[in-house]
Every structure is written in C-alpha cells, then in structure tokens.
Amino acid sequence: MKLLFDFFPLVLFYAAFKYAKAHTEWAANLLTQSLGFMVSGGVVGPQEAPTLMATIVVVAAIALQIVYLLLRRKKVPTVMWVSLGLAVVFGGATVWLHNATFIKWKFSVLYWFMGASLWAGQALWKTNLLKKMLGGEIALPEHAWRRLNLAWVTFFLVMGAVNIYIAYNFSEDIWYNFKMFGSLGLMVVFIIAQAFYLSRYMQDEKS
C-alpha cells in the first residue's frame, strides 16, 4: 500500500499525459478556458496541452497526498514537502512558459536532493539516514549500513542523470514511458539487488 501511495502522483502524471495526448483539442480548450491566466499569452495549444495537463495534475496529486497525511495527523516526510516545492516551482515554469523542460528537470533535482541528503547525513553529520529510518526493522553491522547508504546515494545520482539524458535525447512519449515504467523497473531491480546483499546478514543473524 505504501508503494502505491508513493507512486500515486507519478501514475496520475502519466495517465493525465496519455489521456490529454489522445484528446489534444479538448485538453487545449479546457486549459485555455480554466487556467489561461496561468499561461503566458493566455492560450494553450494542442501540442503543449498534454504536458501542461500532466504538470498541473502532478502538483495537485502531491498536494492531496500531503493534505491526506495532515488530516490523519501523520508526519509528512521531508522529501514530500521538497517534491511539492519542486513541482510548484518547476511545474509553474512549465505552465507559464509552455516549456516541458522544467518539469522534466524536477524529477532529476528530486533524485539528486535525496542522494545528497543521504551523503551529507553520513559524511557531514555522521548520521546514517537509512539506518535511522530502517534500523528498527533491520539489524545490520555498521559497515553494511555504510555500503547500503552509498549504494542508494549512487542510485539516486545515476537516476537523475539518466532522466536528463532521456529527456534531451528521446521523444516526449519515450520520456513519459521511462518515468512510468523504466524508473519503476530500475527501482525494483535495485531493491531486489539490495535484498540479495542484505540476505547474507539475515542468515548470519539467524545462525
């Protein structure tokens, strides 16, 4: 359930783009009539409508997630606040300037923020944030926590770079498919690899 909750904005982002892509004239008219004041020139064209629709939807989805957690009196993770801030800033630039490049950068900046946070926690503050989050569920030696932390730092840095590479070298449709399926697939493969690495320590603990 948590995984579905975490990927909720991404799923809506992709779905909104695909739906608007199949109904470009409808999407352009709707955005022009309802949100024309947010767009430079006041008019949204059919070609740019799918990305603008997806951008507005993803900002609203992240905001809804935060409202939901607040209403349930649960702590909102810092990364979610950062994601909302980046979505508003980069998404706002995409909508106002009719330029999809900004919202594409949002995802890379978020990846790099998460990677930098894990690195800074270990290198600067001597605090392993992964251990702080998962230490109550998994018992690992210190060197394993350090390696795990470094692996996630590397993963986030690489994912940010791959996202930008695909954004600039492939079509918009390929980029959206990568965001929905490629990034999720790479995440699953990475988590499985981590599970194999951690299994040796689980076995040692049981023996």
In the block, tokens 């948590």 appear at 2
Q: The whole model's pTM is what?
A: 0.88
CA within 13 Å, CB half, 3:
4
- The predicted-structure confidence for 108-127, as pLDDT tens digits, reads as follows 999 999 999 999 998 898 88
Verify that 70 and 125 share a domain, yes or no.
no
- The predicted-structure confidence for 12-29, as pLDDT tens digits, reads as follows 999 999 999 999 999 999
Distance of CA 108 to the CA centre of its chain: 8
- End position of a domain, from candidates 99, 127, 155: 99
Verify that 4 and 36 share a domain, yes or no.
yes
- End position of a domain, from candidates 73, 99, 125: 99
Number of independent structural domains in the chain: 2
- The predicted-structure confidence for 48-100, as pLDDT tens digits, reads as follows 999 999 999 999 999 999 999 999 999 999 999 999 999 999 999 999 998 99
Other Cβ atoms closer than 10 A to 75? 8
| Cβ-Cβ contacts under 8 Å for 90 (sequence gap 6 or more) | 102, 103, 105, 106, 109
Verify that 129 and 61 share a domain, yes or no.
no
Verify that 192 and 110 share a domain, yes or no.
yes
Domain span at residue 137?
104-207
Verify that 82 and 109 share a domain, yes or no.
no
Which two three-digit tokens encode residue 35? 């949100």
Verify that 92 and 117 share a domain, yes or no.
no
Verify that 80 and 118 share a domain, yes or no.
no
Verify that 41 and 125 share a domain, yes or no.
no
Amino acid at 144: A
- End position of a domain, from candidates 99, 129, 155: 99
Verify that 15 and 87 share a domain, yes or no.
yes
